[in-house]
């Protein structure tokens, strides 16, 4: 993620007053670091960028000379003096924390895992509206990194030896120097020769080329809750790519794509449909059928029904996701004016129009009043 064009005020980032002492600054930084710790903050894609901002703020405010420069001249003064934050050398958020707080994870007292967890995998599941309403178990097929069955994940051809990595001495980790606000510190990184395993196959597996992992196609059942909406996700823990050296597997995220339905438009838990009513029936009143998720329902079109009026069928909408009950079905009346008339129909309409008086056209609410009420309602949604 690209760093922001305009650096933020370090006091604002750490949430401390401009007169804060060294203890307050350190306490604020550690408190913020707890919130961004990779072991508890797995769902925020901006966690790494937020920690970089916090680390930069701490670097500035924990150094008396830098802080004085910033207080007088701002970020421009720091750049003029040669200060330039550089946290892009670290490969992950875990590496950043290890550099600041040591391999023991000084924020919580727990260490970081030596092997990398498996990557999350995403797949799309297409449903129609009726399936989204009913929910159920649906199958998805996707590709993910899996353990190589030929070598059972050890990266060596069966029957061939696996030797200790000479570069790390079998530890799978090695020490590297990193610059932090606390000065130069040693941080532990995965060995680049053995990938953190501590061992190297003398004859790499022919199927996985010594990696111990291959791309595999999987098919799993996904339990989709009733009432799910387009764009929502279902998470299945541990069904993503496998991790290194026994580390936890990633998760599978199923993105729901609900196809458009020619009968309905969805608005939250409500469904909206259009009922075409011939003008004479709108004037006289009628009973007509409308589509529902489960079939059809009969609605009463009151005499004198106007174009755009809404008839609401309670509980005929979508199930409320992870709650009881259903939304409503809103039926919008579309009064159809005949376009082609026979001579007899034209004569009948002419005879009718001659009898229409102002009393026949009087409404309880004017068109402008209804328009204002409608606009006010949608404005407050």
Per the CB < 8 A criterion, the answer to whether 229 and 327 are in contact is: no
> What ranges make up the beta strands (E) of the chain?
121-127, 136-147, 162-164, 173-180, 183-190, 199-201, 213-224, 233-236, 252-258, 265-267, 270-278, 286-292, 295-301, 310-313, 329-336
- Alpha-carbon span 272 to 330, nearest angstrom: 5
Residue 16 and residue 76 in one domain: yes
More reliable by pLDDT, 155 or 218: 218
Residue 47 and residue 141 in one domain: no
- Model pLDDT for residues 333-365, shown as the tens digit of each residue: 999 988 888 889 888 888 887 887 777 766 666
Look at residues 68, 101, 134 and tell me which one is the last residue of a structural domain: 101
pTM attached to this predicted model: 0.57
Look at residues 227, 259, 291 and tell me which one is the last residue of a structural domain: 259
Residue 225 and residue 274 in one domain: no
- Alpha-carbon span 154 to 160, nearest angstrom: 11
CA 381 to each of CA 230, 313, 377, 378: distance values in angstroms, whole numbers, following the listed order: 20, 20, 7, 5
Residue 373 makes CB contacts below 8 A (sequence gap 6+) with 365
Half-sphere exposure for 281 (CA within 13 Å, toward CB): 15
Residue 216 is encoded by which pair of tokens? 């595999």
Q: Is residue 229 part of a domain?
A: yes
Backbone phi, psi, residue 325, to 5°? 90, 175
Residue found by looking up tokens 């469904």 in the block: 271
Residue 52 and residue 138 in one domain: no
Report the pLDDT averaged over residues 118-132: 93
Indicate which CATH number applies to the domain containing 216.
2.60.260.20
Residue 310 and residue 225 in one domain: no
Residue 129 and residue 239 in one domain: yes
Task: Using the predicted structure, report yes or no on whether residue 74 has a pLDDT greater than 50.
Answer: yes
Look at residues 72, 101, 130 and tell me which one is the last residue of a structural domain: 101
- Alpha-carbon span 237 to 254, nearest angstrom: 11
Confidence of residue 88 (pLDDT cuts 50, 70, 90): low
Confidence of residue 114 (pLDDT cuts 50, 70, 90): very low
Residue 47 is encoded by which pair of tokens? 């966690």
More reliable by pLDDT, 309 or 167: 309
Q: Is residue 362 part of a domain?
A: no
Residue 93 and residue 16 in one domain: yes
Residue 19 and residue 93 in one domain: yes
Give me the chain's average pLDDT, please.
80
Q: Is residue 374 part of a domain?
A: no
Query: Both ends of the chain: CA-CA distance in Å?
Result: 34
For strands 295-301 and 136-147, give the pairing: unpaired
Question: What pLDDT was estimated at residue 273?
Answer: 95
Q: Is residue 191 part of a domain?
A: no
Residue 347 is encoded by which pair of tokens? 């004569």
> Structural domain tally of the chain?
3
- Model pLDDT for residues 5-28, shown as the tens digit of each residue: 568 899 998 999 999 998 898 888
Residue 347 and residue 332 in one domain: yes
Q: Give me the domain span that covers residue 15.
A: 10-101
Q: Is residue 108 part of a domain?
A: no
Q: Is residue 157 part of a domain?
A: no
Question: What pLDDT was estimated at residue 40?
Answer: 53
Indicate which CATH number applies to the domain containing 57.
1.10.287.110
- Alpha-carbon span 345 to 279, nearest angstrom: 13
Q: Is residue 30 part of a domain?
A: yes
Residue 92 and residue 145 in one domain: no
- Alpha-carbon span 316 to 295, nearest angstrom: 10
Residue 317 makes CB contacts below 8 A (sequence gap 6+) with 269, 270, 271, 293, 326, 327, 328, 329
Task: Using the predicted structure, report yes or no on whether residue 108 has a pLDDT greater than 60.
Answer: no
For strands 329-336 and 270-278, give the pairing: parallel
Alpha helices in 128-173 (DSSP H): 129-134
Residue 234 and residue 316 in one domain: no
Report the pLDDT averaged over residues 212-219: 89
Residue 16 and residue 97 in one domain: yes
Backbone phi, psi, residue 165, to 5°? -65, 125
Q: Is residue 174 part of a domain?
A: no
Render 262-313 in DSSP notation, one character per residue: SS-EEETTEEEEEEEEEHHHHHH-EEEEEEETTEEEEEEE-TTPPTT-EEEE
């Amino acid at each position: 993620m690209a760093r922001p064009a305009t650096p933020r005020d370090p006091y604002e980032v750490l949430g401390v007053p401009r007169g804060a002492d060294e203890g307050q600054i350190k306490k604020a930084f550690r408190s913020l670091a707890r919130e961004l710790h990779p072991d508890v903050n797995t769902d925020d894609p901006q966690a790494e960028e937020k920690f970089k901002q916090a680390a930069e703020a701490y670097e500035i405010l924990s150094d008396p000379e830098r802080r004085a420069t910033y207080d007088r001249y701002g970020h421009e003064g720091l750049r003029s003096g040669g200060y330039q934050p550089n946290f892009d050398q670290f490969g992950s958020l875990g590496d950043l924390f290890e550099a600041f707080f040591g391999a023991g994870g000084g924020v919580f007292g727990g260490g970081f895992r030596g092997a990398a967890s498996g990557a999350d995998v995403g797949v799309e599941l297409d449903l129609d509206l009726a399936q989204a309403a009913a929910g159920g178990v649906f199958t998805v097929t996707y590709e993910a990194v899996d353990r190589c069955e030929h070598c059972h994940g050890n990266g060596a051809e069966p029957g061939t030896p696996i030797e200790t990595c000479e570069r790390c001495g079998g530890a799978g980790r090695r020490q590297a120097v990193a610059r932090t606000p606390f000065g130069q510190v040693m941080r532990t990184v995965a060995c680049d020769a053995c990938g953190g395993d501590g061992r190297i196959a003398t004859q790499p597996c022919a199927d996985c080329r010594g990696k111990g992992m291959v791309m595999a196609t999987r098919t799993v059942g996904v339990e989709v809750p009733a009432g799910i909406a387009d764009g929502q996700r279902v998470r299945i823990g541990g069904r993503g790519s496998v991790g290194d050296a026994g580390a936890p597997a990633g998760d599978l995220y199923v993105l729901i794509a609900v196809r458009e339905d020619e009968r309905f438009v969805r608005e939250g838990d409500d469904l909206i449909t259009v009922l075409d009513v011939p003008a004479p029936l709108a004037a006289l009143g009628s009973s007509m059928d409308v589509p529902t998720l489960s079939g059809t329902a009969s609605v009463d079109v009151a005499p004198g029904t106007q174009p755009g009026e809404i008839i609401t069928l309670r509980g005929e909408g979508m199930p409320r996701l992870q709650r009881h009950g259903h939304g409503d079905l809103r039926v919008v009346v579309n009064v159809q004016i005949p376009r082609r008339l026979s001579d007899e129909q034209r004569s009948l309409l002419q005879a009718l129009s001659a009898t229409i008086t102002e009393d026949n056209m009087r409404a309880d609410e004017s068109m402008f009043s209804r328009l204002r009420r409608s606009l006010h309602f949608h404005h407050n949604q």
